[in-house]
Every structure is written in structure tokens, then in C-alpha cells.
């Protein structure tokens, strides 16, 4: 990749170590940020709102030494990234969304999910909380991962606040080139990801033969794809 900084935002339940293998393949300085309270037991996130996630990520970037950077968001991290980009309009040179659910402005993450998940997720979150069953984490997030990596994902999964999924978010898409990376072995169908790429206003769409976590299963291919775009 070109000598340009890269800021990576993980998806729901995950943490910044998700990007460790990607960092080794990336020829640029990488800042992998964390959502609030990673690795904290109990319900530390239950009283947070969507703006708290944006603020936490924004502060980590402000404390970094990157003057300009590509902003990469995975899954729900892309929606957080769109709001974060509003604070770094002169520094974000491009934005990348990986296997991301991107609602239209004024809608929630949950509302943009495929039917029937868009109707079922909010009441499920209210009843059961935001940590899926271990079997679901393994089948949806870890389907093409090494068993040791899958075990790490399950062990470190951090429940998020319900509002991260259900809050209606007003945003303006960043005025930069935008890349959407589809994952073709994901639970998210390709035609659905195409619609999300359109919501993201992607100038370019690329596909990786990967499950939902290509930064773990195919880190070099992901780094090469972002490098070609930037």
C-alpha cells in the first residue's frame, strides 16, 4: 500500500486486535481503534448511546499522529466511521466499507438489515441482549476461520449497547472516494451487499472470496484490495 495512514474500525462485539494480521500485510502505518469498554466484564456499555461510540473513536484518532488517512470500517464500524469522518473532513482521503450494513441517512442499522432481521432484531435485542449465542458467533462470524481464531472471537466478544443498532442516525457521506468490499461467503447475500454499497455511495465495489472477517481469513488479499484502491 502507498505510504498513507490507515484507520481501521472493527464491527460490533469485536476489538482492535481483529486487524493484527492486516497490519502486517499493510505497507502503511495503521491505527486500529476500539469501541468503548473492550474486554470489560458486565454491562459497562448498557448506558451508552451511538454518539459515545463516535466520540470514543474520534478521540483515539485525535491522539494519533496521522495527518491524512484512509478510514476503513468493518460491518457496523462503517456506520460509526461515516459519523467519525465528519470530524476529519480535511484528513480523510478515502473511505472503505467491508461487508457493511449502511442505512440511508435518518435510519438505523437494524432497519437496513435484510427482511425479516430488520423487524426481528430490535425485540430480540430487548429480550436477549446484544451478545449472540456462541453457536451463532461461530457460524456467522467465524465460518472460514482457523479454530484458534474462532475461539478468540467467541471468548473476547463484547456486548454492545442496544442503541448502537437501533438509533436513527443522520449523516452526510464523506466527500471522498469510497470503496465497498463484498464478502462472498458471508451470511449477507451479495445482492444485498450491492444495495449497501449503493447506500454508501461507493465509487468502486470489489469482492473477496471470504466470510465476514476477511482481515483474519484473507489479510493479504484485503490489504492488496485497499492498496489498489488508494
Residue 41: pLDDT band with limits 50, 70, 90: low
Per-residue pLDDT, averaged over 142-165, amounts to 93
- C-alpha dihedral (180, 101, 86, 177), degrees to nearest 10: 10
* Domains of the chain in sequence order: 5-229 (3.40.50.1820)
Predicted pLDDT of residue 1: 45
- Which residue, 54, 105, 56, 100, is CA-closest to 78? 100
The pLDDT > 90 percentage for the chain reads 77
Answer for the pair 142, 211: CB distance below 8 angstroms, yes or no: yes
pLDDT tens track for 72-126: 999 999 999 999 999 999 999 999 999 999 999 999 998 998 765 654 455 555 5
Predicted pLDDT of residue 131: 77
Predicted pLDDT of residue 217: 97
Per-residue pLDDT, averaged over 164-189, amounts to 95
C-alpha–C-alpha distance, residues 180 and 184, integer Å: 13
Predicted pLDDT of residue 46: 78
Predicted pLDDT of residue 120: 44
At residue 43, does pLDDT exceed 80? no
pLDDT tens track for 48-74: 999 999 999 999 999 998 789 999 999
Amino acid at each position: 500500500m502507498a505510504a498513507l495512514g490507515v484507520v481501521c474500525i472493527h464491527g460490533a462485539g469485536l476489538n482492535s486486535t481483529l486487524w493484527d494480521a492486516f497490519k502486517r500485510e499493510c505497507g502503511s502505518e495503521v491505527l486500529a481503534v476500539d469501541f468503548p469498554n473492550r474486554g470489560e466484564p458486565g454491562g459497562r456499555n448498557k448506558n451508552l448511546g451511538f454518539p459515545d461510540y463516535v466520540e470514543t473513536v474520534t478521540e483515539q484518532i485525535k491522539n494519533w499522529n496521522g495527518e491524512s488517512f484512509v478510514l476503513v470500517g468493518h460491518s457496523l464500524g462503517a456506520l460509526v466511521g461515516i459519523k467519525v469522518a465528519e470530524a476529519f473532513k480535511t484528513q480523510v482521503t478515502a473511505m472503505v466499507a467491508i461487508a457493511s450494513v449502511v442505512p440511508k441517512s435518518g435510519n438505523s442499522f437494524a432497519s437496513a438489515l435484510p427482511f425479516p432481521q430488520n423487524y426481528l432484531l430490535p425485540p430480540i435485542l430487548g429480550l436477549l441482549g446484544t451478545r449472540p449465542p456462541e453457536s451463532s458467533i461461530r457460524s456467522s462470524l467465524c465460518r472460514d476461520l482457523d479454530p484458534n481464531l474462532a475461539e478468540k472471537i467467541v471468548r473476547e466478544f463484547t456486548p454492545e449497547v442496544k442503541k448502537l443498532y437501533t438509533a436513527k442516525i443522520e449523516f452526510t457521506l464523506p466527500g471522498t472516494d469510497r470503496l465497498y468490499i463484498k464478502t462472498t461467503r458471508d451470511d449477507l447475500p451479495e445482492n444485498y451487499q450491492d444495495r449497501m454499497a449503493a447506500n454508501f455511495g461507493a465509487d468502486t465495489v470489489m469482492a473477496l472470496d471470504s466470510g465476514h472477517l476477511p482481515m483474519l481469513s484473507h489479510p493479504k488479499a484485503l490489504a492488496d484490495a485497499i492498496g489498489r484502491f488508494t
